[in-house]
Amino acid sequence: MGMGPLENAAAVEVPVVTAAAAGGGSYALLQCGEDSAYVRDAYGGYFEVFRALLAEDGERWRVYRAVRGELPSDEEVAGIDGFVISGSCSDAHGDEPWILALVDLIRRQLAAGKRVLGVCFGHQILCRALGGKTGRSCKGWDIGVSCIHPTAAAARLFAPLKMPVHLPIIEFHQDEVWELPAHAEVLARSDKTGVEMFRLGDRAMGVQGHPEYSKDILMSIADRLLRQNLLLDCQVDVAKASFDVRQPDKEFW
């Protein structure tokens, strides 16, 4: 699994360890939201969406439905090299039992030298587990294709790849990272969100946006929330129009 970018406390020391042995590693998606009917029918579920984005030849992948309280046992985690934490409709700053269990798992696995990549909710819960703070954005929903701006730290990390000044990515969130964990560094910002990407050491990385999303996935969620009166017509219209202005940079992600 490439640790490069990708759909919901006490600090943890993250050790530097060697990469998984050649021949393909073993990775797990910690799925923090249920599959929508649309994604299940069109793509086979979010697990398949993430695998299409991240999986490389020879790797072994499996999914744990963290939102249902399904987490790997101690015996299972011993054979897993890294974890991807998905998005969620839940709040990363919440205290539901499954969220607290997930925070505990993240801390233990990072302390053991496992690699962890968080996406949207996963980005925020990773920050929380490492000792940072998350909460509601004072700027409200960010939905559609947004431009994030890589920092000098990102340029150093991805060298010799030349980083673009503006990097389009699909967003769908109303929460954000308020305060980074100690020693973490910001890799990207945007006009609406101060921490679009961060990393701590070479084991932990968070991405606020959804590199795994496509326009149809985002619009299916937006339309559902609109029907539930959780979004306004104008918010959905802005999200749809954003794809006419810019397209997510799939080559980078």
Q: In this structure, what are the phi and psi dihedrals at residue 75, rounded to the nearest 5 degrees? A: -65, -40
Q: Which of 32, 120, 127, 147 is catalytic?
A: 120
* Distance separating alpha carbons of residues 207 and 160, to the nearest angstrom: 21
Q: How many CB atoms lie within 10 A of CB 243?
A: 17
32 close to 96: Cβ distance less than 8 angstroms: no
Let me know if 70 is a catalytic residue. Answer: no
Q: Where are any strands of DSSP class E within the chain?
A: 26-31, 60-65, 82-85, 115-119, 133-136, 142-150, 167-173, 175-179, 185-189, 197-200, 204-207
Let me know if 196 is a catalytic residue. Answer: no
> Can you list the pairs that 249-253 forms with residues at least 24 positions away whose Cβ atoms lie under 8 Å?
249/164, 249/167, 249/168, 249/169, 250/211, 252/5, 252/164, 252/167, 253/4, 253/5, 253/6, 253/53, 253/169, 253/211
Let me know if 120 is a catalytic residue. Answer: yes
Torsion sign across C-alpha atoms 12, 136, 178, 213: positive
Torsion sign across C-alpha atoms 231, 232, 234, 236: positive
Instruction: Kindly state the tokens that stand for 177.
Output: 């990272």
* Distance separating alpha carbons of residues 206 and 32, to the nearest angstrom: 15
User: Could you give the residue numbers annotated as active site?
Assistant: 120, 210, 212
